[in-house]
């Protein structure tokens, strides 16, 4: 096949240059514009990087128009049905599905890294009781760089592997400690005999004074949500991890930067906004009124949890999680809760309403994940923390891919400067 190129012409001067086209396995081609500054003295301008590929990656593919999400080439539907979170974690980090032996080794490595240093645990005493859990999570994860610096040579593949095991294992423990701190309850140590999500439920909800029985449906729901949230290509938080990681910083600091980016309500806080919206609507009787407000261009009300910035057709993750949301509500006996009844009614009406159907504004994964977390008993302030636990795997995979790339460069975006031109300093008494 002939090499594809674009010819760029400065119409004012007639000067021309060639730009190579790069093709991936799937998805649109990209135009390599690295020589544009040298040939024409120009930078490109793309606020929000809406049409810019910032890197080359083999991890996740999304086709928003067709509603496709794949991890390492495997459709999310197949992984959600047949796999579990730690197997998907292995796939994202290592590029291939594990053998039975490989999965056992990986699972053991994660299970036996779940405890955190007691000094690190005492950090939580320095936070106010009402500190936001994401603030605690970001701060404590960053502080891990002070505990594991002796085995963190980023150019050492074995050190990178140890880091991956540690952060994936410890992030639920840190999240649970943040939750217990907010409640004023004793911290519950992890149990190595429990699977990943059952252990998380134990650390969240068990107390020393009584027996806690783990609900397998809740653990199954968390495992499924974690699979669906494990990675989502070059989103804001993943790009932040790559940007910070490109400097060669300690990877715990890079992951902390991703947590901070995820905290934003436009990114990781969407499922929290769904519950806030349902509380605002109040009752089933108010649904028609608020749907009318959502359709009114002059009204500020937005229907949260419907449609998606990337998926222009439907969110494939929502199709998978919908059945689990109904299963959780049925199992926990909370389907008669007014808030959940309202969510199901809103879903039913919106799926049939011509306005939403025409615009393909279907419920997305945030709509259902917020309902599931709430039904399990996780407060809204912890929703984004749960997202961070799952997405840590994706961040680690992208960080490792970038660090192992021989062509890695420090990220240095350009800008369009619109400030004052050169000015001369004026002495203070003359201003």
Q: Which residues are catalytic?
A: 308, 366
Q: DSSP of 210-221, one letter per residue?
A: B--PPPHHHHHH
Q: Give residue 249's region: left, alpha or beta (phi > 0; psi -120 to 50).
A: beta
Contact (Cβ atoms closer than 8 angstroms) between residue 154 and residue 160: yes
How far apart (Å, rounded) are the C-alpha atoms in residues 326 and 340?
10
Cβ proximity of 408 and 401 under 8 Å:
no
Q: How far is CA 54 from the centre of its chain?
A: 18
Instruction: For residue 410, give the 3-state DSSP assignment.
Output: coil
Distance CA 155, CA 181 (A): 36
DSSP H/E element including 196: helix 196-205
- Give the list of residues 6+ apart from residue 20 with CB closer than 8 angstroms, or none: 3, 4, 5, 31, 32
Any bridge partners for residue 63, and if so which? 68
Among candidate residues 164, 168, 169, the one with its CA nearest the CA of residue 190: 169
40: CB partners within 8 A, 6+ apart: 8, 10, 15, 17
Nearest Cα residue to 275 out of 357, 201, 343, 336 = 343
Residue 282 CB-half CA count within 13 A: 5
Which tokens hold the place of 138? 């970001």
36 membership: H or E segment, kind and range? helix 36-40
- What are the structure tokens assigned to 244, written together? 């910070």
Distance, in Å, from the CA atom of 26 to the CA atom of 233, rounded to the nearest integer, reads 13
Q: Rounded to an integer, what distance in angstroms lies between the CA atom of residue 163 and that of residue 57?
A: 21
């Amino acid at each position: 096949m002939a090499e594809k190129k674009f010819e760029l012409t400065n119409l004012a001067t007639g000067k021309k240059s060639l730009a190579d086209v790069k093709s991936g396995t799937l998805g649109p081609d990209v135009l390599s514009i690295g020589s544009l500054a040298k040939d024409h003295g120009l930078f490109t301008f793309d606020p929000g990087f809406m049409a810019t590929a910032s890197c080359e990656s083999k991890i996740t593919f999304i086709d928003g128009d067709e509603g496709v999400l794949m991890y390492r080439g495997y459709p999310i539907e197949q992984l959600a049905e047949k796999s579990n979170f730690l197997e998907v974690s292995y796939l994202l980090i290592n590029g291939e599905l594990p053998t039975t032996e490989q999965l056992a080794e990986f699972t053991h490595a994660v299970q036996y890294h779940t405890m955190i240093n007691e000094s690190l645990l005492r950090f939580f005493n320095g936070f106010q009781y009402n500190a936001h859990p994401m603030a605690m999570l970001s701060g404590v994860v960053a502080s891990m760089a002070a505990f594991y610096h002796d085995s963190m040579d980023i150019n050492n593949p074995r050190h990178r592997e140890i880091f991956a095991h540690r952060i994936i294992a410890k992030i639920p423990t840190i999240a649970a400690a943040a939750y217990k701190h907010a409640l004023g309850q004793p911290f519950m140590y992890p149990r190595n005999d429990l699977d990943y999500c059952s252990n998380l439920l134990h650390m969240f909800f068990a107390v020393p004074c009584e027996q806690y029985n783990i609900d397998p449906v809740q653990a199954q729901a968390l495992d499924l949500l974690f699979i669906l949230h494990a990675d989502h290509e070059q989103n804001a938080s993943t790009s932040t991890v790559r940007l910070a990681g490109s400097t060669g910083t300690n990877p715990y600091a890079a992951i902390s930067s991703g947590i901070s980016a995820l905290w934003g309500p436009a990114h990781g806080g969407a499922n929290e906004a769904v519950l806030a919206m349902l509380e605002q609507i109040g009752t089933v009787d108010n649904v028609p009124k608020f749907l009318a407000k959502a359709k009114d261009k002059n009204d500020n009300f937005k229907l949260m949890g419907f449609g998606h910035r990337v998926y222009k057709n439907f969110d494939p993750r929502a199709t998978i999680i919908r059945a689990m949301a109904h299963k959780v509500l049925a199992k926990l006996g909370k389907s008669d809760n007014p808030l959940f009844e309202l969510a199901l009614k809103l879903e039913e009406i919106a799926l049939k309403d011509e306005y939403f159907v025409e615009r393909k504004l279907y419920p997305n994964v945030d709509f259902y994940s917020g309902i599931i977390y709430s039904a399990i008993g996780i407060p809204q302030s912890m929703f984004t923390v749960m997202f961070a636990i799952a997405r840590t795997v994706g961040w680690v995979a992208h960080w490792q891919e970038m660090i192992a790339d021989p062509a890695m460069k420090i990220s240095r975006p350009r800008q369009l400067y619109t400030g004052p031109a050169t000015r001369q300093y004026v002495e203070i008494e003359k201003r």
